[in-house]
Structure 1
């Protein structure tokens, strides 16, 4: 057997191995694009085997002329059609690039039209030369119809796109060059054998490019899996941190309810007994005790409303916190004829976590309450500044200045305010104002607040 025949058999064997390999891949991954590639490769194999049967004798009997015509040009164009379908599924154009996907579907229509037209023309029995010319013109037309799609894929500078496009171009050039050779070859045997050499070499190059593309795609898929796992791990860590934070906050709220509201209710119960005992003999004293009960109940009600606001599930913005603070401070300031002003930054302020929301609000509430009760100011200014990853909140009044107990841990609730500031990683200080008055400054990192 001549060497050229052995080369044909070797190339056909390589294609058969590739088809088997892709079949295994399809059984493992069940990807639709692998199935289309198997159909493309099997169609190409059948085309080459039927074309080379006259010299290599693959079949025990000659193929009928009419069937041989149907297994010629229509079959190889069908194979090219399957390669295009494999390509846009392999590159996931439908999901990632719908416009290119629609272009690919239009190119498919050209291939289907050619197959139908060729099958209709076969019974008219055109000569071999005429048929080759028609096929060459049709092949060039089909290649030109696909050229814009291939160009759009190439300009994206995506390695996977480039490998697939170059493989398709190699197949097109191999098929067209073979039929150009048939027009100039004089020996019919050369037409039968050499016409398919360029096509087989092109398919071999396409196999190398495809396998490289499979390696790249598998690597990308593995990286996507790793990235997805990393995101899930990060989400689980955040969920665990949130669960821990909520657990800590629930414990703290439970402690606050027990210490503050529980103590208040106990005092109401105690004062109620005292008032009952004094009601008949000491009505004036009983009235004072009832007034204490009323004030305590009002304080408990206010604290309950604050607690309900703290534990709402959504993260609140500073605007919502300021609105809540206005609802508390404006009636108190109006009663004392004190001007209350809020100065907010122009830039957007962060959302507040549950812990930051609670501590910031209570610090500001205590600072305003202290100024109203102890400083007798004419105005109170609450200002908020977000700069250099730090949040600064200050409450400034023009009242009587720092009280004598300001330097001690028990003066005017300073101890509680400082503890709340430290609880969210912040710092709280008191400063005298030059024109008279006091400034309470609360500083904390921005990432702690959000």
Structure 2
């Protein structure tokens, strides 16, 4: 075997060098990541190197008993404490298995009690047999705790667990091999020319394999953490983009409000101001027709109030339900056709519909609906108008049909500004607009608007 040809001092130097390099790697990782697991990991490796050095000396003594060297026991106990802490941080035991975390805390307290007991035995100069028995008892208790925790850890779904268990297995196998060969002095005679005759060779080799597994486990965990950070960043970017879209939608709504206030209300308010001065002059006897002017002022004021109500309604969040839109659509149709020689036929849902129209859609949808009704009054010369509303496939389906004169309409052909405006407003709420008309056969206009489930179903 290859290791049999290597002198023990050279192999120990090689193994110690490997462990020192791994400890330095852990320290460099700590400077980059600033996580406690790295410096604790480096200190654990250092404790094992020191333990192997003193164990090598103790194994050469006559009548050797484990646990009689106070320095070895203290450093070894410190290594166990760091080992437990390393497992807690690597596998996230407190979050994944609180019961195992409590067991590990108890094990930590037991190790601390053992260190105090060893100090007392050292200061009182107790016999080696008592020291060894004390050492063995506490180690058996720690082993029992490990037997409780390890099976529970195996059930956790963590990528680093496999590396941790494999590393721990290598360490245990190395220690068991070293313990076994102590009782076969004829074969394991500690020949300096054969590294395999020394117990520490197997212990240190087991620790090297353990450290390699732990390093791989930390790399896997770091990779997982990086992927989680990337996912979190992607979600944050997606949320920021969504917020930007909402902000853009709000800005468009503000621009629409500003334009509507200027175009629809500004001129009427200015005319009210001008006519009020005219009425004053007329009432002072300078001119005639004061009553007609006041009537015009009143009519214009009512128009302003009606338009202001429409703007407020379209913006109020409480009016986002399909049922509320249906009520407003009925009210508008009745008011518009009240003094017209046109018979109105409505087919709206008889019950409340548990769907809502997004706020950024509702205003443009209502303006499209209102503009179509005005076009019917102005141009259709119809005797009957049929308006129906229903919900199909997450769309509000609004159809308006008249039996008027109709007109020549061809899809994908140039059309007037009115139709272009209707199509643009429909596109603004991601809707669908269709129109069918022929001379003498009336007109059918269909508008579809996306809706979302109501608050009770979200």
TM-score tier after normalising by the smaller chain length: 0.7 to 0.9
Match of 1:116 among 110, 113, 116: 113
Deviations 1:288-335 (A, max 9, x none): 4433322322222232233344456x6x7851x541552563487499
Distance 1:285 1:414, change over 3 A: farther
Structure 1 CA distance, aligned partners of 2:177 and 2:319?
70
Structure 2 CA distance, aligned partners of 1:328 and 1:127?
95
CA contact (8 A) 2:382 2:405 kept: no
Q: Determine the structure 2 residue equivalent to 1:100.
A: 97
Structure 2 CA distance, aligned partners of 1:230 and 1:443?
33
Q: Determine the structure 2 residue equivalent to 1:329.
A: 330
Task: Say how many residue pairs are matched.
Answer: 420
> For residues 39-438 of structure 1, what are the structure 2 equivalents within 5 Å?
39-54=43-58, 69-73=69-73, 75-94=75-94, 98-114=95-111, 116-117=113-114, 120=117, 122=121, 123-126=126-129, 134=137, 137-138=140-141, 140-153=143-156, 156=157, 158-183=158-183, 185=185, 194-276=198-280, 278-279=282-283, 286-311=290-315, 318-319=320-321, 322-323=323-324, 326-327=327-328, 329-330=330-331, 333=334, 342-343=348-349, 349=355, 352-354=358-360, 356-367=361-372, 380-387=387-394, 391-396=395-400, 401-404=402-405, 417-430=422-435
Q: Higher relative CO (CA 8 A, sep ≥ 6), structure 1 or 2?
A: 2
Q: Determine the structure 1 residue equivalent to 2:412.
A: none
Structure 2: gaps of 5 or more residues: 410-414, 453-458
Distance 1:66 1:7, change over 3 A: closer
Q: Determine the structure 1 residue equivalent to 2:445.
A: 440
Q: Which deviates more from structure 2 when the two are superposed, residues 1-10 or residues 18-27?
A: 1-10
SS at match of 2:69: helix
- Measured after TM superposition, the shift of residue 410 of structure 1 is 7.8
CA contact (8 A) 2:41 2:82 kept: yes
- Measured after TM superposition, the shift of residue 200 of structure 1 is 1.3
- Measured after TM superposition, the shift of residue 93 of structure 1 is 3.9
- Measured after TM superposition, the shift of residue 29 of structure 1 is 2.1
Structure 2 CA distance, aligned partners of 1:329 and 1:348?
18
Q: Which deviates more from structure 2 when the two are superposed, residues 251-260 or residues 235-244?
A: 235-244
- Measured after TM superposition, the shift of residue 280 of structure 1 is 7.5
Residue 36 of structure 1 pairs with residue 40 of structure 2? yes
Structure 1 CA distance, aligned partners of 2:58 and 2:259?
94
Q: Determine the structure 2 residue equivalent to 1:61.
A: none
Structure 1 CA distance, aligned partners of 2:271 and 2:129?
111
Q: Determine the structure 2 residue equivalent to 1:60.
A: none
Residue 20 of structure 1 pairs with residue 24 of structure 2? yes
Structure 2 CA distance, aligned partners of 1:407 and 1:246?
38
- Measured after TM superposition, the shift of residue 106 of structure 1 is 1.2
Structure 2 CA distance, aligned partners of 1:30 and 1:88?
17
Distance 1:238 1:14, change over 3 A: same
CA contact (8 A) 1:91 1:161 kept: yes
Distance 1:163 1:217, change over 3 A: same
CA contact (8 A) 1:371 1:377 kept: no
Q: Which deviates more from structure 2 when the two are superposed, residues 190-199 or residues 46-55?
A: 190-199
Structure 1 CA distance, aligned partners of 2:89 and 2:353?
47
CA contact (8 A) 1:139 1:176 kept: no
Deviations 1:190-226 (A, max 9, x none): 5997333332121111122122233333333443444
Q: CA RMSD in A?
A: 4.6
Distance 1:288 1:209, change over 3 A: same
Structure 1: gaps of 5 or more residues: 58-64
